[in-house]
Chains A and B, each alone.
Chain A
């Protein structure tokens, strides 16, 4: 069992969990993930390790509660525990000194981006961070990212904070300005956002790394459920990734495979909501 030491709500449905997992905390490098299972009978869910403290034996996980299983995980109170935490898995981020780097995060992807952006800054890169969300309350970690970024640009779709629009609008400005044009871009967020970033940087020949989020089961390369097509070849995101060259990824294929279990997820969500309603009714 893996005890939950902290459970904080960062934004609507977005939780930050600090979990006791000493072996994972010691071995982990930026870019890696864990597979988590809340309890017996529950599914295995991949979650990026947002941060780790080897001395305390803890890892930080950012979880967006979008389905029945993630809802169950974020509902575990402090002092409760996750039944299984396996990792660290996947390839660590390739960190080198490119010079000027743009780090782009969307939604919960911002949390995934955080350790990577920090590692890039620590390697001597000049990091410009662009983060976006639907509205102000979905923008997370701005202050934490500002601590090592040369600038943090914020975009919201409704204009409630920072610039109105998408992260790609802010990136477009950077690229257009020779004094700020990045040598390399990292983009982590929803598939359409990563795809839009890759399409924007492609004509400029700017190296673009994305972190993919396909469906996973074991996370150790034994089933191929997470396969994605990269440069015309099938890759297993759990062992070959999750980070890949954004200009080579078949985003359409990835998006499509992500819809495989949509009807099951809707059913599970529906069942979970009904249960809660029934309980509330029963409790008066």
Chain B
């Protein structure tokens, strides 16, 4: 144990701060906002962990990373060991260290958070994962496990699919991931912007899986290119993790005007296709000097911050409840505000107004006020009579949510679905078809990267049992 500090000294250490790019500079480029910790800072922060016996942080982590152990090795400056532990538990630690909402997961359970600030587990996970990426030659080589001769197909190359693939490959199964798009990562690639998650990180994490023997076939749309039935004949088990990529429409007049995007289209153009951020990319995007993004989640924050970087003078969040009710992470809201995003709260869109040439000119809105709590405990927004007003906008982005894409399930009638079209799966991920497992947003509806990864890890364990 890295016990060169007494408990008292450990408890006296304050939480480290994440260095960030200056807001005025970063709001005009796509560089990563959070810059990462230095070695000294990381080691000191790791020493803040008191190595408590009951390890509540591990329970708070959906993939069950051995947090005290990797922090202990980091505190002792044994980075190869720290990386070995971390990578053994988590297929995508450099991703999780960046995009997980640690404040509601591992760090929420940290004992040090009871009186003071929790250990910055996310920052340290990122530090160790990034170190491992740059120092691959210092890591112990782990040989491939003996082959079981069993083959597993994974549908979807997002966080759930990648995690499951890593676990299954580690168990010695032959794993093939089928991905509909031309590149890997799912929402990590097309949804989360470069300034939160540099795309090179996905490439490196994915290449680690490929080195473990995972095969990835892009441009295969299960349900179209191959059916679920064909996959079942060819493979011993299946894991379906094709996400919840169907945009919910606003259903207000003017939705089909030029300059109205779904969040998925807006982000896919910029993130996957590199529109507006790589001068050599051939996919265009309508940037807009005034942009209104409708919604209050992390996707809305990603869209509005992207709009700023594409050159918007006024980038606005339009949300029907108040800031306290926003589902977005506090850090995202803070970053957006620092970057000059305007928050138009308690405001609901009524209509998108166009000009004579069919382009968006304004978003017609009305003011809302919060009524008494409804049966779910949330205060319901109610329209204020006569409060209509127009927000000038050239681009409107709809970030109110997504639902289950029926493309795969429509061709697999034996697969039981719930009334929202999501696949019904038990806690281990087992579906109504034996040998077919599912997880991530296709089961949960729109949730988080880390919950999807937890599903992938759980389903892989269930598949390992099933194939044993």
Q: A residues bordering B, Cβ < 8 Å?
A: 23-24, 27, 37, 41-44, 68-69, 83-89, 217-218, 220-225, 227, 229, 234, 239, 253, 256-257, 259-261, 264-265, 268
Contacts and interface: CB of A to CB of B under 8 A. Distances in A.
Contacts of B278: 41
A264 B284 CA distance: 7
A89 B256 contact: no
Interface of B: 180-182, 218-221, 224-226, 245-247, 249, 255-256, 258-259, 261-262, 264-265, 268-269, 273-274, 278, 280-284, 286, 358, 402, 405-407
A224 B265 contact: yes
Contacts of B261: 225
A27 B265 contact: no
Contacts of A37: 182
6 contacts: A43-B282, A86-B220, A218-B180, A221-B406, A256-B358, A260-B286
B310 to A, nearest CB: 13
Contacts of B284: 261, 264-265
Given A41-B282, A86-B180, A256-B258, A220 B225 contact: no
Given A229-B256, A234-B249, A234-B256, A44 B225 contact: no
A224 to B, nearest CB: 5
Contact of A86 (B219, B259, B265, B406): B219
Nearest to A267: B284
A228 to B, nearest CB: 8
B407 A259 contact: no
A217 B258 contact: no
Contacts of A264: 284
A221 B286 contact: no
Contacts of B255: 234
A217 B268 contact: yes
A224 B282 contact: no
A88 B280 CA distance: 28
A46 to B, nearest CB: 13
B265 A88 contact: no
A97 B376 CA distance: 53
Contacts of A68: 282
Contacts, number: 105
Contact of B273 (A43, A222, A224, A229): A43
Given A221-B407, A259-B258, A42 B224 contact: no
B171 to A, nearest CB: 27
Task: Give me the 7 closest cross-chain CB pairs, A-B, nearest first.
Answer: A222-B245, A223-B265, A264-B284, A86-B219, A84-B182, A43-B283, A256-B358
Contacts of B247: 222-224
B221 A87 contact: yes
A87 B265 contact: no
A220 B405 contact: yes
Nearest to A261: B284
B266 to A, nearest CB: 9
Contacts of B224: 27, 87-89, 220
B32 to A, nearest CB: 21
A23 B225 contact: yes
Given A27-B226, A88-B225, A220 B180 contact: yes
Contact of A84 (B218, B225, B265): B218
Contacts of B226: 23, 27
A268 B181 contact: no
Contacts of A23: 220, 225-226
Contacts of A268: 282
Given A85-B219, A220-B221, A257 B256 contact: yes
Contact of B219 (A27, A41, A84, A223): A84
A234 B398 CA distance: 15
B384 to A, nearest CB: 29
A216 B402 CA distance: 18
A212 B328 CA distance: 38
Contacts of A87: 221, 224-225
B221 A221 contact: no
Given A27-B226, A218-B181, A224 B221 contact: no
Q: Which of B181, B224, B402 has the most CB of A within 10 A?
A: B224
A265 B283 CA distance: 10
B280 A41 contact: yes
Contacts of B265: 217, 223-225
Nearest to A229: B256
Contacts of A217: 265, 268-269, 273, 283
Contacts of A260: 258-259, 286
A68 to B, nearest CB: 6
A208 B286 CA distance: 34
Nearest to B220: A23
Given A41-B281, A43-B273, A222 B405 contact: yes
Nearest to A88: B224
Contacts of B249: 224, 234
Contacts of B262: 223-225
